[in-house]
Amino acid sequence: MSFKTAPRAAGITLQQLLAESAWFALLTPAAREQVLADMVERTVVAGDALIRHGETALWWNGVMEGVMKWSTGTRAGRSVTLGGLTVGSWFGEGSLLRGKPVQADIIALRHSRVALLPKNTFEWLYETQPAFGRFLTNQINERLHWFMGDFAAHRVLGVEAQVARALTGLVHPWLNPGGDLHLQISQEELANLVGLSRQRCNQALSQFKAMGVVRTEYGGITILDIDRLTTLSAVE
């Protein structure tokens, strides 16, 4: 597992996103050219949705800037957060492959920019690029494994462990492959991801700071000891 220890820029270009995406390098030169020709960019302001539960999936998505929350809920207003999406994360393949309406909301927690690959191009890659299909299989498997652990964590772990798990999820090599240990996320945004009050989340962060596991600063959190943080978030 590889991580960057220095803060990266708040956002990257489309070309930089693709250059850092493992799946893009697996494509043939012709397929890479097609992706570049078909990819478009969308800006999502804080609080707005990239896509809502029940909508038809039309794109495969890659985060170029910002932080997004992946969540689902009920008509009564209760919701559960499935995870955070940061720069370098690709998502939405499940709905495209199933051909069913999206089963979650993707909400921007701050100003975000997202690369969008059209459904037709995505399906063409899946049908003609075997390595791309293998990449998707691995990614879906990793995401399923993470969700199973997350489900267990919210049943048996305390608040501190849930906050630790949210942080490790933001540097997960498949869910958020940027591998940047300096997270450009505020404590309020982290609390939103975990589904806790800001005060309760900050109490957990204070414990982590006292342990030398993280460092907090304005608009960001730096993970100092990823191994220990992973241990704190583990389900025995």
Q: Which helix (H) or strand (E) holds 233?
A: helix 226-233
Characterize 31-45 residue by residue with b for buried, 16 or more Cβ atoms within 10 angstroms of its Cβ, and e for exposed: beebbeeebeeeebe
Domains of the chain: 14-151 (2.60.120.10), 158-233 (1.10.10.10)
pTM to 2 decimal places: 0.82
Q: What is the pLDDT of residue 1?
A: 41
Q: What is the pLDDT of residue 77?
A: 64
Rounded Cα gap, residues 151 and 96, in angstroms: 24
Beta carbons within 8 Å of 73's beta carbon, 6+ residues apart: 53, 79, 80, 105
For residue 183, what pLDDT band results from cuts at 50, 70 and 90?
confident
Structure-token match 């590889």, residue found: 2
pLDDT digits (tens, 9 = 90+) for 113-156: 999 999 999 999 999 999 999 999 999 999 888 878 777 777 77
pLDDT digits (tens, 9 = 90+) for 8-41: 445 789 999 999 999 999 999 999 999 999 999 9
pLDDT digits (tens, 9 = 90+) for 43-97: 999 999 999 999 999 999 999 999 898 888 666 666 677 788 989 999 999 999 9
